[in-house]
Amino acid sequence: MTVIRVCDITLAAAGLIIGFPCFILLCGLSWSITGSPILVQERVGRNLKLFSLFKFRTMPVDVPTVPTHQLNPESLVLSPIAAMMRSLKLDELPQLLNVLLGDMSMVGPRPALPIQNDVISAREKLGVLNHRPGITGEAQILGIDMSTPEKLAKADASMMNNLTVKAYFDYIMRTFRIFGRGGRISHKPIKK
């Protein structure tokens, strides 16, 4: 077991234990706005192995499973609570369980959907898929998303090829500084 894997297990376990009350609150909030608090999506992991990724649901249940940048923002309506959860990245907290299970790392390339062939292909060419996907990493900090597969794969490969324990903790600390940016979804008041 590598030092980084030990760090993953320690941080994920601590986060799940300490954050348990927060998880209950967020689960309740997510349930109140979507009726289905946990989103389980199939994602591509290390060596192309598929795994189930967990998130708090912030979008309506009937939203199609496609990359966020392919969704039509005008067709989505998020409540203020959902907008806040996405903006602060709170919807991604259940992925600590993915880290504990070994499907993900705290730091690594964001896992793609199986339908994102362009992202998968670009990453395969650069050996990115030899590593565990992560909750955060270079691309997230720099604002590079999956709409630019080649640029994303290069950032992922550079990060993983130079990942040390020091860099691992640096990525985690830098991630806290980008809270509030959110994603590409337009946050609008919910319509009644």
pLDDT, tens digit, for every residue of 137-176? 999 999 998 999 999 999 999 999 999 999 999 999 998 8
Mean pLDDT (whole number) for 52-76 = 72
Banded pLDDT at 72 (limits 50, 70, 90)? low
- pTM for the model: 0.84
The proportion of the chain whose per-residue pLDDT surpasses 90, expressed as a percent, equals 62
The proportion of the chain whose per-residue pLDDT surpasses 70, expressed as a percent, equals 85
Q: Is the pLDDT of residue 19 over 70?
A: yes
The torsion angles phi and psi of 106, rounded to 5 degrees, stand at -65, -35
Give 97-116 pLDDT, tens digit per residue. Answer: 999 999 999 999 999 999 99
Integer CA distances (angstroms), 88 to 5, 69, 126, 171, 177, in order? 25, 18, 31, 17, 11
Banded pLDDT at 188 (limits 50, 70, 90)? very low
Mean pLDDT (whole number) for 56-73 = 68
Nearest to 67 by CA among 169, 155, 138, 146: 146
